[in-house]
Structure 1
Amino acid sequence: MKKYIILFCTIVSLFSCKNEKQPNGKINIVTTTTMITDLVKNIGGEHINLQGLMGSGVDPHLYKASEGDVTKLSQADIIFYNGLHLEGKLVEVFEKMKDKETIAISDALDKSTLIGSEYFASNYDPHIWFDINYWKQATQFVVKTLSEAIPEQKTNFEANGTKYIEQLNTLKNKVETTINTLPKEQRILVTAHDAFNYFGKAFNFEVVGLQGLSTATEAGVQDVQKLSAFIIENKVKAIFVESSVPKRTIEALQASVKSKGHEVTIGGTLYSDALGDAGTIEGTYIGMFEYNVNTIVEALK
């Protein structure tokens, strides 16, 4: 705890240093989650210097700034983060930045359309990237922000944004076609935590997470027993591990179902709070989304 407080104070003190545009006209951008890094990369391209804080398999709910992050944050001109308390351990740092432009991607959205929760600190589900329409709005938001920061590149940012939104439209059509092969009564998605509610709302899935919206809260024995009864009652064929959440919780759920004389398979690993490895198809937002849908549909058929 003491080490985190010292690190926090160091970060805040460094934000008194104002940065200037690089000689090549680029500015320094820092992003938090891999989804946001991928989005900003698609819009900014070669016209920005981009660094992401989190990598593949990293849980943003539990992420703490490291000493290496201090330098990245102190040198940033713009910091893009998710907001809605997704980055639970970083949000206080962002809110205290006086000399940095900190941009919450969730500010692009109408809060009245978000999924709320009386059990979560922000009162909103932060997993907004699982609604493709929201991600299109986020794309437009990033285009606007970068265009204001580097006006001379506005045409390029707008062109990149248009191209990316076209790719998101193609993605939506493709995954809808795949999902439509799965009967509605089989669209029950059981995962490690409640990361897929926006996905469920968009594509007519009933979504049940073993943990809540944040992985900071651990599932107890009663949660496992309750969900195992639900799986048996609804004849759920498969449940899913998440890449950024330890798989032991889902394995415990599978064992609980088995102890009651029933079987449920682990249908695969889904990418929830982080993309796949950099350089892979799943390391992009579009590739991740398509992979998840294919994995879910194949396991539940």
Structure 2
Amino acid sequence: MKKIILLSIVFLAISSCKKENQENGKLNIVTTTTMITDLVKNIGGDHINLQGLMGSGVDPHLYKASEGDVTKLVNADIIFYNGLHLEGKLVEVFEKMESQTKTPIALAEEIDKSTLIGSDYFAFNYDPHVWFNIAYFKQFAKKVTQVLSEKDPKNAENYSENEKQYLIKLDALQENIKATIETLPQEKRILVTAHDAFNYFGKNYAFEVVGLQGLSTATEAGVQDVQKLAAFIIDKKVKAIFVESSVPKRTIEALQAAVKSKGHEVIIGGTLFSDALGNAGTIEGTYIGMFEYNVNTIVNALR
């Protein structure tokens, strides 16, 4: 019933709502995840009005749009979202908007599907956590620049320059990450987390990645899953496992307890930022800072 009511609100809002004029004449941009919000902020700078729907610690897999969110979406000139079913509960809202000539832009649709990681749990779907491949995030940056420039050609040169400077920073991030990870022996590169958010990271940096839950946090881990992973940790002599900021830590604590019940010890190596950035104003509150923080946390705990 709530879903029907919300979709009705979307239809009525799109049909009857007149976009409020912005006194500053800037584009109204709405984004979903904190990673995309940070990206668009870097490219758009002071030339856009930017509103992100999700905040720090928010799980995009489970996020539901409020009536206030619908108003933001309807009044937006451009909507950027991840796609690949990451924002699962927003998909119907976006589809409704598409049918009314407003087309939200799924940035992950720019990626060559043949290079994506498939899902063992959902047929014909892909792992949506693509931002953990920095090369993919660079593609996001290019797409955002293209769209902003087409919508606001008078500031196209500024968007292009901002993209250029941001790509330089992403190049530096790649080099720093590689150097840090190279200090960790290959046999210690086993990353155990709350859910499968780090597969692209593992693929790029030769980590064996194991998540207690599946690609979506909507998939619950059962007792057998915990026991099986506990046995894996003991067999592989994994030193540390990790909590995620957007996933309740009880799942990892249950895993730690299961390992202990078998007469072994594994520490919780820290909290990683997977589906959301950290608080605004902190190092982890930016994409680049989050990535560096995660890698330092992982390497220090496993080493």
State the TM-score, normalized to the length of structure 2: 0.96
Matched residues in 2 for 1:218 and 1:9: separation? 31
Correspondences of 1:108-123 after superposition (within 5 Å): 108-120=110-122, 123=125
Gaps of 5+ in 1: none
Structure 1 stretches of at least 4 aligned residues deviating more than 4 Å after TM superposition:
none
Name which of 98, 101, 104 aligns with 1:99.
Answer: 101
8 Å contact 1:171–1:290 — kept in the other structure? yes
Matched residues in 2 for 1:131 and 1:193: separation? 17
Deviations 1:128-156 (A, max 9, x none): 00000100111011100111110111100
Deviations 1:13-70 (A, max 9, x none): 2123464874533111100000000000000011111000000000000000012212
8 Å contact 2:277–2:290 — kept in the other structure? yes
Identity of aligned residues (%): 74
Matched residues in 2 for 1:122 and 1:41: separation? 32
Q: Which residue of 2 aligns with 1:234?
A: 236
Q: Which residue of 1 aligns with 2:292?
A: 290
Matched, 1:159 2:161: yes
Q: Which residue of 2 aligns with 1:8?
A: 7
Q: Which residue of 1 aligns with 2:248?
A: 246
Amino acid at match of 2:214: G
Distance 1:204 1:158, change over 3 A: same
8 Å contact 1:12–1:93 — kept in the other structure? no
Deviations 1:196-226 (A, max 9, x none): 0000001110000000000001000000011
Gaps of 5+ in 2: none
Name which of 269, 272, 291 aligns with 1:270.
Answer: 272
CA RMSD of aligned residues (A): 1.3
Instruction: Please report how far the alpha carbon of residue 5 of structure 1 lies from its aligned counterpart in structure 2 after TM superposition.
Output: 2.2
Amino acid at match of 1:193: H
Q: Which residue of 2 aligns with 1:257?
A: 259
Amino acid at match of 2:84: L
Matched residues in 2 for 1:86 and 1:13: separation? 26
Amino acid at match of 2:31: T
SS of the residue aligned with 1:96?
helix
Q: Which residue of 1 aligns with 2:88?
A: 88
Name which of 135, 138, 157 aligns with 1:136.
Answer: 138
State the TM-score, normalized to the length of structure 1: 0.97
Instruction: Please report how far the alpha carbon of residue 12 of structure 1 lies from its aligned counterpart in structure 2 after TM superposition.
Output: 2.7
Q: 139-148 or 69-78, which moves further after superposition?
A: 69-78
Name which of 258, 278, 283 aligns with 1:281.
Answer: 283
